[in-house]
């Protein structure tokens, strides 16, 4: 049986505020800077990865519980499958142009 925490969830509030700050920072990078488009995409991608990790650990309790090793393994597998799908889709969509 897992121990229930009592009291105000300060960790969740801090995680939410950091996630909101990252979103606002991404908007500022897009609309208020004169960076090159590739730099903007890179910064937004880095912030997205950081925000995803933040949500996994702060809200989805990735490292808590008895089966945390299986949670990490399943998450790594899901990330790997996502990468395969994205890279495979881009490869399929761009590889056909040489045929025509």
Tens-digit pLDDT profile for residues 66-87: 777 788 888 889 999 999 999 9
Does 3 reside within a domain? no
Specify whether 25 is located in the same domain as 56.
Answer: yes
Q: Could you report the per-residue pLDDT of 28-54, keeping only the tens digit for each?
A: 999 999 999 999 999 999 999 899 888
Confidence (pTM)? 0.65
Into how many domains does the chain fold? 2
Specify whether 34 is located in the same domain as 53.
Answer: yes
Q: Is the pLDDT of residue 56 over 70?
A: yes
Specify whether 78 is located in the same domain as 35.
Answer: no
Q: Could you report the per-residue pLDDT of 6-20, keeping only the tens digit for each?
A: 788 888 888 899 999
Q: Is the pLDDT of residue 1 over 50?
A: no
CA atoms within 13 A on the CB side of 70: 3
Does 78 reside within a domain? yes
Long-range contacts of residues 62-70, Cβ cutoff 8 Å, at least 24 apart: 64/2, 65/2
List the domain range (segments joined by +) for residue 72. 65-100
């Amino acid at each position: 049986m897992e121990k229930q925490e009592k009291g105000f969830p300060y960790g969740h509030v801090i995680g939410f505020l950091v996630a909101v700050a990252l979103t606002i920072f991404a908007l500022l990078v897009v609309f208020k800077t004169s960076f090159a488009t590739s730099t903007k995409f890179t910064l937004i991608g880095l912030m997205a990865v950081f925000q995803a990790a933040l949500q996994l650990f702060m809200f989805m309790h990735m490292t808590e519980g008895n089966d945390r090793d299986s949670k990490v393994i399943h998450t790594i597998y899901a990330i790997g499958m996502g990468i395969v799908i994205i890279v495979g889709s881009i490869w399929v969509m761009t590889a056909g142009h040489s045929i025509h």
